[in-house]
C-alpha cells in the first residue's frame, strides 16, 4: 500500500455503551441487559478510563469525530449522557465541526430527548429502524413497532440535530421483497441524510440462527437477497443519495466521518467494554501498550460490562489485550477495508496491481493508476475479490 498519514495521532474516539433493553434475536454484539445500577457503575468506570486516556499524549490531537456506539447509547438517559459529554469535552480538544454521533433506538426517541441530545452537542443521530413490518420486527426481537420507528424518525428530523441516519436490514426470513421496499420508501419520505442498508447475517449462537438451523425459518435465497440489494440501491440513488460504502448511502457531505476514518485505515481511540482501538506505535506506548517497533497496535477491552467495571476497580486500564501489527498486516487490512468504499484504495505493490487488473477484466474492479475500486458488480462479491487479492 502507499504511504499516507493514516498512522498519525488518533483524531477519532469510539465510546462503547453496551446496554440494551433486551437482546435482539439476531444480535451477537457485546451488550448487557442490566439495569440502572450497573449502568451507573459502568459510567463511573468509563469516565475513569476516559480521564486516564485523556491525560496521555495519545489524546493530544484535536478530535474530528466522537462516536457513541453500542448497545443502545440512547438508553443511558440524558443525565448520564450529559455526564459523559461533559467529560469528553473537558478531557479532549475537539475540532470545530467535530462529528458527535449517537446511536439510538426508537423506544428512547421523543421530541424532548431529541432536543436534549442536540443541546448536548450531538451532531448526528443514527436510528435503528431495521424494518417497517411489524411481524418482521417481532421476528427480529425488536422492542418497537413500525409506527414508533417512523415517529422517532420524524422527531429526529424536526429536531436541531443536524444529521439523521437510519439503519435498515434486508434479506430477513419471512419479509418479502415488496414489504422491504415499501418500508424503504416510507423511510425515504423523511429524506434522511444517510442510510445504512445491511444484509441480515445469521450469526452463530443467535436466536435467528437457531430458528433457521431447526427448520423453523427459511433463509432468504441468495438470488432474492441480491434482488433486494439491487432494488434498494436503485431506489436510494433515485432518492438522491450516493453510495460511498458497500452498505452505506448519504447525501453530499453527510457520510459518517467516523466510519470513513475506520474504512480508510485511520487510527482511533476506544473506550469501554468490548471496544477495539487502533493506534500508531507512539500513541499505543503512551497508553502503556507494548508497541516494540511495530507501526500499528490494535487493542481491545474486556468484553463483558460487569468484568470491565470490576477490573477498573482493581486498577486495570480495562484493556484486555493488544496486538502489534506489521506493515504487511496493516496493508492487507487497509486493502480489505478500502475496497468497501466506492472511492477505492491506493495499491502500490506490482503483484496486487496485476491481480487487480485481472479481476478488472471481469468487470469487478476498476484500476486507475494505483487506485483500485470495486464496481457495483464487484461490491456484490466483495469478500471473494478481497480474498483473491490477499492471496495474490
Residues that bind ligand SF4 (CB under 6 A): 20, 23-24, 27, 29, 31, 70-72, 105, 128
Q: How far is the CB of 383 from ligand SF4 (least distance, A)?
A: 22
Beta strand pairing call for 319-325 and 296-301: antiparallel
Adjacent-strand bridge partners of 269 = 13
Nearer to ligand SF4 among residue 200 and residue 241 (C-beta): 200
Nearer to ligand SF4 among residue 71 and residue 378 (C-beta): 71
Give burial (CB, 10 Å; 0-12/13-18/19+) of 97. exposed
Nearer to ligand SF4 among residue 128 and residue 344 (C-beta): 128
Query: Which one, of 294, 385, 270, lies nearest residue 338 by Cα?
Result: 385
Adjacent-strand bridge partners of 197 = 168
Reduce the DSSP state of residue 270 to 3 states and report it.
Answer: strand
Instruction: Give CA–CA dist 339/88, Å, rounded.
Output: 32
Q: How far is the CB of 286 from ligand SF4 (least distance, A)?
A: 31
Using left for φ > 0, alpha for ψ between -120 and 50, and beta otherwise, residue 66 falls in beta
Q: How far is the CB of 65 from ligand SF4 (least distance, A)?
A: 20
Nearer to ligand SF4 among residue 20 and residue 164 (C-beta): 20
Q: How far is the CB of 22 from ligand SF4 (least distance, A)?
A: 7
Phi, psi values for residue 128, rounded to 5°: -85, 85
Q: How far is the CB of 140 from ligand SF4 (least distance, A)?
A: 8
Burial 349-373 (b: 16+ CB within 10 A, else e): beebbebbeebbeeebbebeebebb
Nearer to ligand SF4 among residue 121 and residue 141 (C-beta): 141
Instruction: Give CA–CA dist 184/179, Å, rounded.
Output: 9
Quote the DSSP letter at residue 268: B
Q: How far is the CB of 182 from ligand SF4 (least distance, A)?
A: 22
Q: How far is the CB of 300 from ligand SF4 (least distance, A)?
A: 17
Q: How far is the CB of 23 from ligand SF4 (least distance, A)?
A: 5
Nearer to ligand SF4 among residue 31 and residue 345 (C-beta): 31
Nearer to ligand SF4 among residue 29 and residue 300 (C-beta): 29
Nearer to ligand SF4 among residue 32 and residue 322 (C-beta): 32
Q: What is the DSSP string of 338-389?
A: HTTBTT-EE---HHHHHHHHHHHTTTSEEEETTEEEE-HHHHTTHHHHHHHH
47, 272 contact by CB (below 8 A): no
Amino acid at each position: 500500500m502507499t504511504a499516507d498519514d493514516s498512522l498519525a495521532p488518533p483524531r477519532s474516539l469510539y465510546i462503547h455503551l453496551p446496554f440494551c433493553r433486551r437482546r435482539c434475536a439476531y444480535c451477537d454484539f457485546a451488550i448487557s441487559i442490566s439495569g440502572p445500577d450497573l449502568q451507573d457503575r459502568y459510567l463511573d468506570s468509563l469516565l475513569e478510563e476516559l480521564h486516564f486516556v485523556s491525560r496521555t499524549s495519545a489524546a493530544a490531537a484535536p478530535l474530528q469525530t466522537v462516536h457513541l456506539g453500542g448497545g443502545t447509547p440512547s438508553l443511558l438517559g440524558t443525565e448520564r449522557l450529559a455526564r459523559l459529554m461533559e467529560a469528553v469535552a473537558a478531557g479532549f480538544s475537539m475540532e470545530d465541526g467535530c462529528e458527535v454521533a449517537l446511536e439510538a433506538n426508537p423506544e428512547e426517541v421523543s421530541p424532548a430527548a431529541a432536543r436534549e441530545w442536540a443541546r448536548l452537542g450531538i451532531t448526528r443521530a443514527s436510528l435503528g429502524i431495521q424494518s417497517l413490518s411489524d411481524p418482521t420486527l417481532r421476528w427480529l426481537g425488536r422492542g418497537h413497532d413500525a409506527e414508533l420507528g417512523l415517529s422517532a424518525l420524524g422527531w429526529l428530523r424536526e429536531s436541531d440535530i443536524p444529521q439523521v441516519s437510519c439503519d435498515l436490514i434486508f434479506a430477513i426470513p419471512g419479509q418479502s421483497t415488496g414489504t422491504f421496499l415499501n418500508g424503504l420508501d416510507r423511510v425515504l419520505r423523511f429524506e434522511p441524510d444517510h442510510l445504512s442498508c445491511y444484509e441480515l447475517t445469521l450469526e452463530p449462537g443467535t436466536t435467528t440462527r437457531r430458528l433457521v438451523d431447526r427448520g423453523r425459518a427459511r433463509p432468504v435465497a441468495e438470488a432474492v437477497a441480491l434482488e433486494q440489494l439491487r432494488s434498494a440501491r436503485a431506489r436510494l440513488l433515485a432518492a438522491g443519495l450516493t453510495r460511498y460504502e458497500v452498505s452505506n448511502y448519504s447525501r453530499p457531505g453527510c457520510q459518517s466521518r467516523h466510519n470513513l476514518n475506520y474504512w480508510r485505515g485511520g487510527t482511533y481511540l476506544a473506550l469501554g467494554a468490548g471496544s477495539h482501538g487502533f493506534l500508531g506505535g507512539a500513541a499505543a506506548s503512551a497508553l502503556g501498550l507494548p508497541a516494540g517497533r511495530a507501526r500499528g497496535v490494535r487493542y481491545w477491552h474486556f468484553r463483558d460490562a460487569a468484568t470491565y467495571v470490576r477490573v477498573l476497580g482493581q486498577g486495570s486500564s480495562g484493556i484486555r489485550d493488544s496486538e502489534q501489527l506489521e506493515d504487511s498486516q496493516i496493508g492487507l487490512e487497509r486493502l480489505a477495508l478500502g475496497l468497501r468504499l466506492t472511492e477505492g484504495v491506493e495499491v502500490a505493490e506490482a503483484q496486487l496491481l496485476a491481480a487487480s487488473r485481472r479481476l478488472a477484466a471481469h468487470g469487478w474492479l476498476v484500476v486507475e493508476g494505483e487506485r483500485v475500486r470495486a464496481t457495483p458488480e464487484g461490491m456484490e462479491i466483495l469478500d471473494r475479490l478481497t480474498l483473491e487479492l490477499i492471496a495474490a
